[in-house]
Each structure stands twice: as structure tokens, then as C-alpha cells.
Chain A
Amino acid sequence: MIRSLLIFLAILFLGLLFFVTMVLFAIPALQESTLVLPSMIEVSSNSDIAGTDQQTLENDIAKLQTKLEKLTPVNAYMVVNTSDNHYYLFKDKKLVREGICSTGKNERLVSAERNYEHIFHTPFGVRKIIRKQPNPVWTKPDWSYIEDGLPIPSSRDPSRVETGTLGAYKLEIGDGFMIHGTIYKRRMGMSVTHGCIRLLDEDLEVVYKTMEVGSKVYIY
């Protein structure tokens, strides 16, 4: 009786194992192979149709390639990778400098008591340098006080003004975002900023001198 039951169970198990193996592995593998499809590769050798001869095609490709290459700026531009916190500086379509940077910490600061909310994130996309300034002064915004657990002073309060915090230079890229230096050097290469792009002193100097007002900054 037990022996028969075991044989039944073994048959049942083997049958189901076969089915599951086929469904999970063999049939999907067969679907992904070329065996199930008849060859449909075009065998026509008609090349007399207008616009399809080799010379015309090669000319078209060359024109399109030139058009595409023209989209890359010849003058200086910068690429910022916020995921790796790395920057790349290009001039004449060549990489002239690269290094670490710090970008937005991807945080939403919420203060229910003060009914305040601010997102610290470096915006993706393309921006332009709209203003360059040496020895910048930082006017602390409200979020700086909220983040430090301090009361917010009036907008003209002298405590808002700080020198040295932004390093030797700043390059504004719009909406309050900037490329600037930092006093927090041990946290370079990390996502720790409030949305600005922080560079090390030497990198900032090269970037400041290479990038012009109007130069593009590509951020991703």
C-alpha cells in the first residue's frame, strides 16, 4: 500500500517537475531563440530605387553627422554627474579637467511648526552661467536657519551675511543655484549640498577661468 502510494507520488512529482521545468525554462528559452521564427531577412537586391544608392546614403549620413556634431558646444561647457558627484570640464570639444564635486542631498526639509517645506536637490537638465563673481558673499536663506534649528531673522538682518563660505568664486546658473567652493572639504564627493554644486578650490579656479557667461552646464 505504502509502496504504491510512493510510486504514485513519485510519478506525480516527476510529471509536475517536468511541466514546471518546461514552463519556467525550456519554453521561454525557445521563445527567445531564433528557432521558432522563419527567416524574414530581406532578400531583395533592388538598388535602383531613388535615394537608396550607396553614394546618396553616405552623403546623407555625413550631413546628418555634421548637424549632430554642431550641437556640441565648441566653447567651454561642463557636465555634472550628481549620482557619482563628479564633474567634467570641456573646451574645444575636449575634456580639459575632471574631478569630484558635491551636489544636492535629495532631501525634503519639513517644518510643521513653521509651515515650511524646501527640497534640496540639484536640478537636472541644461543651464547657462548667468553671472560670475569672485569673493562671493553668501546671504543665508530661511532654510539655513530652519535646518539649524534657529529662529529666522528679518531679511536684512546682518547675521544673514557670511563671507568665505562659498569659497573664492561663484558662478550662478539660475533659480538660486550656483557653482561655488566650500569650507566643508572632507565631504566632497558626497551628495550633501542644498542644491548647489560645490568644487574644490583648485577645480573652482580652473572652472571659473574657463567658463564664460553663457557657457552651458549639463546636469544629470
Chain B
Amino acid sequence: MKESSTDDFDVLFVKKRTGVKYFAIIFGLIILTLTSVYAYLSIGSVRDRMELAHSTADATMQINPSLLNLLKEKAWIESRLQMASRDSIGLAIDLERHTIQLELKGVVIMSSKIRDYSTSGFFKKMDGNVYFSMFGTPLTIEKFISTIEKNPLRVVHAPKDTIAAAAAIDAAIKKDSLLDENVFWTVKLDRDIDLDIQGIDSVAEAKSKYKLGKGFEFERNLKNIISSFEHIMNFKKPVYTPEILISIPENDAKAILRALPRKPLVTIRI
């Protein structure tokens, strides 16, 4: 009687452990399958993006690799000349010379040194034809998202008398201090490229602002991931957008954001 009850208990224990084992295996397989499907479709979307870029590029043009840098230089100047034909401020980014500048009618009105930058692997794998189809002519900014207001305009109600007017002046003077803002902005370019600009003045400052900047980036990435999931749930490949991330001094990042008109032209050299 005693032995039998011990056997029953052991059986129960073994069953439970087997259950855990089965669960671990099945759950592990489900997770691995989901991850693999997600990775496969996500990576597939990058390859699709490159194929699309190839199909839209002028593949008939033969490009000698030894002349590629000269052709890029020519495209860079031609594109800036096209920008100069417009009356509005344009943005010129030269990753080769680490400069970002505002141009108006061909005149460089502001220039800033790029402290650091990173580009998607997509750009490193472009051939000449894809390069010129993407950067041979000016791009257009279609959408701005930023941590600071692009065109701040405060509404002030007119004072009723001179006493209220004097009080308003005092309040304005008190408010007029230098704001310590976290400047991070991202734009969507018309050839389906994301351009991210972050304002960083020093390493120490960058550390304290890292979290805020990352928060902004994370929020944006999360939106991309949700969109990717939606695509995958509908048995479609997610949309991949290659990115360029540039770090410049904070005041310059702010000045450039505020100077750019609604749909400005952008010339990029990589």
C-alpha cells in the first residue's frame, strides 16, 4: 500500500516534468518560428528595397568605378545648382567632407561641421546607378517630426491698459533665458529615405540627453515595428526605409530645422 502510493506520486511528478518539457519545447519552437518569420520578412524587405532602387535606376548607364568619385562630385554640384534656381532655403549635406549647410540661391548662408554620422548598410551597398537615381538630383522633404517646435509662434493678447502692458514686458524679460532643449528631428525624404538630425554639443551633454533622444528614437522605431507586424499579419513584407543619422551642434540643429521651409530641397553626397 505504501509502495503503491509512492509510485503514484512519482508518476505524477514525472508527468508534470514531462508537461513542462513539452511546453518548453513547443513554446520555444513557436517563438523561434515567429522570430524566424519576422527576421526573414524584415530582411526580405531590405532586399526588396534594393531591388526596387535598381529597377528605378537608369541601368543602361555604364559607370566606371574609378570615376565614381568624380561623378559624385559632378552630381553634388549639379544638384546644388538646381537647388539654387529656387527662391527658398535648401539643405546640402556632404558626408564625405563632414559638412551640413543651408543654401539660398547658391549662397552658403550657414555651415556646420558634422560631428558624427551613420548610414544604413543599404547605402554602402549601392552601385553607381542606384546612387545617381537617389542623390543625382535634389530630394524633397515631405514630413518633419521633431522634439522642438519647428515654427514657434506665441499668441499674445493685447493688454487693456499701460499697467497690464508693463507687467507683460516684465514677464517677457523673465522668460527670456536660454532654453536647454533636447534637439532631435527626423524627416522623410521623397525617395523613401529617413534623415535624422540630432543636436549634441559635448560628450558629457550627449550622455545626459541620450535617454531623451533615445526615447524619441524608440517611439519612432516602435511605430515602425507595429507597422511591420501589421504587414506580417496580413502576409505582406514590411516596408523598409534606409536611414542617415547625423550629429551636429545643438544650436545648428535648431537653426537648420527652423530655417527650412515646408517642403525644402535637400542635396546629399555620401
Contact = CB atoms under 8 A, between A and B. Distances in A.
B165 interface: yes
A218 B126 contact: no
A23 B158 contact: no
B28 interface: yes
Contacts of A113: 158, 160
Interface stretch (B67-75, B139-147, B185-193, B202-210): B67-75
B156 A218 contact: no
Contact of B159 (A42, A125, A149): A149
B88 interface: yes
Interface in B94-119: 102, 104-110
Contact of B240 (A7, A31, A107): A31
Interface in B33-70: 34-35, 38-39, 42-43, 45-47, 50, 54, 62-68, 70
Given A30-B39, A81-B255, A187-B176, A148 B162 contact: yes
A148 B165 contact: yes
3 nearest A-B residue pairs (beta carbon): A71-B106, A111-B158, A220-B259
A54 to B, nearest CB: 6
Interface of A: 4, 7-8, 11-12, 15-16, 18-19, 22-24, 27-28, 30-47, 49, 52-54, 57-58, 60-61, 64-65, 67-68, 71-73, 77, 79, 81-84, 105-114, 116, 119, 121, 124-126, 146-150, 187, 190, 192, 216, 218, 220
B84 A68 contact: yes
Given A12-B27, A22-B38, A23-B225, A37 B161 contact: no
Contacts of A109: 156, 158
Contact of A24 (B77, B160, B221): B221
Nearest to B107: A72
B121 A33 contact: yes
A37 B67 contact: no
A46 B258 contact: no
Contacts of B261: 124
B158 A34 contact: no
B157 interface: yes
A31 B46 contact: yes
B20 A42 contact: no
Contact of A111 (B16, B77, B157, B162): B157
A1 to B, nearest CB: 8
Given A71-B106, A107-B155, A149-B158, A19 B77 contact: no
* Interface of chain B, main secondary structure: helix
Contact-residue size bin, chain B (C-beta under 8 Å from the other chain):
35 or more
- Highest count of chain A CB atoms <10 Å: which of B16, B66, B109, B129: B109
B32 to A, nearest CB: 9
B70 A54 contact: yes
A109 B154 CA distance: 9
B213 interface: no
A82 B172 CA distance: 18
16 contacts: A11-B28, A22-B35, A23-B35, A23-B38, A30-B42, A33-B121, A37-B46, A42-B65, A46-B64, A53-B67, A57-B71, A60-B74, A84-B255, A109-B156, A113-B158, A148-B159
B68 to A, nearest CB: 8
A84 B225 contact: no
Interface in B235-263: 240, 243, 251, 254-255, 258-259, 261
A53 B16 CA distance: 77
B63 A124 contact: no
Nearest to A118: B158
A19 B106 contact: no
B102 to A, nearest CB: 6
Given A46-B62, A71-B84, A32 B121 contact: yes
Contact of B27 (A11, A28, A37, A39): A11
B27 A15 contact: yes
Given A19-B35, A42-B128, A8 B159 contact: no
B42 to A, nearest CB: 5
Contacts of A83: 251, 254-255, 258-259
A110 B155 contact: yes
B227 interface: no
Interface in B1-47: 16, 19-20, 23-24, 27-28, 30-31, 34-35, 38-39, 42-43, 45-47
Nearest to A216: B107
